[in-house]
Structure 1
Amino acid sequence: MAWLAVVVLFLTLCVLLSLLLPKPPPSRWRRRLQRRTDRLVRRLRPRAQPEPDPFDTLRLQTRLGHLSSKIRRIESTPHVYARAHKLMALEAAYDDLLDEACRLAGCPDPGEQQRSEAKRWQEEQELAARGWSW
């Protein structure tokens, strides 16, 4: 009868130990299935767009302000060597920065319009409506 008490005590201790100890690792087929399922979920789930860095926005606004002041200075000075070439280069850089700012701010894409004053004005208004200033 004493041996029966020892067996019951042993089984009780085994149950308590199994409750306290961490679960054993999953079997090989479960790990494979888990990896394949994770891979499938990553393919099907759309990737979230990361939030834009506020310092990138600030840097872009500073560059826009710097370029716009250079353009105003060249437009207001009548005797500048190679004025037309400088203005064309500065306006092209300003337009590229406006495109980048619009992408960063989430403005709707106006399509493949030719560069013009109207497109530049429209992009500036879209950015100003979203709180951008430079």
Structure 2
Amino acid sequence: MAWLGAAVLFLLLCALLGLLLPGPPPSRWRRRLQRVTTGMAARFRRHPVPAPDPFDTLRLQTRLGDLSSKIRTVESAPHVYAKAHRLMALEAAYDDLLDEACRLAGVPDQAECRRAEEKRWQEEQELASRGWSW
């Protein structure tokens, strides 16, 4: 019963306060209050993780296929100027694309590999097990 009296008293005080105040608060206060509340709401709200774009995946697979064919071409050519330099550059670009593909596919990082060939092989196997082809 006491809570009912408290509720009536609260409503009465709200009505009196509404009669005493001239109108809504000034607009700058409302804007500031709105900025503060939206900032606090954004801080506590969970932002959904966007789904990966399938065209990004396709573009990445195409680039991986392109680079792998260029690597095979340079490796099979008997007389290529600066062959080692080209191979190192192509393999570095291929490794970067593999890392990006693994991030996109959700493959965990392969930090325990000592050599680049081991890491490359493991990443290719993980991507192939997830349905990637290039």
TM-superposition CA deviations, 1:21-74 (whole Å, max 9, x none): xxxxxx658987665443222112332221111111111000000000010111
SS in 1 for 2:51: coil
What is the root-mean-square deviation of aligned Cα atoms in Å? 2.2
Aligned residue in 1 for 2:52 = 52
2:103 is aligned with 1:116: no
Alignment coverage as a number of residue pairs: 108
Give, in angstroms, the shift of residue 111 of structure 1: 3.0
Paired residue type of 1:131: G
Gaps of 5+ in 1: 1-26
1:52 is aligned with what amino acid?
P
How do 1:16-95 residues align onto structure 2 when only pairs under 5 Å count?
36-95=36-95
Secondary structure of the 1:111 match is: coil
Bigger Cα Rg: 1
Q: Which runs of 5+ in 2 are unaligned?
A: 1-23
Residue 127 (structure 1) aligned with residue 109 (structure 2): no
1:45 alignment partner AA: R
Q: AA paired with 2:87?
A: L
- TM-score normalised per structure 2: 0.70
Which range is displaced more, 31-40 or 94-103?
A: 31-40
Please, what TM-score do these two structures have when normalized by structure 1? 0.70
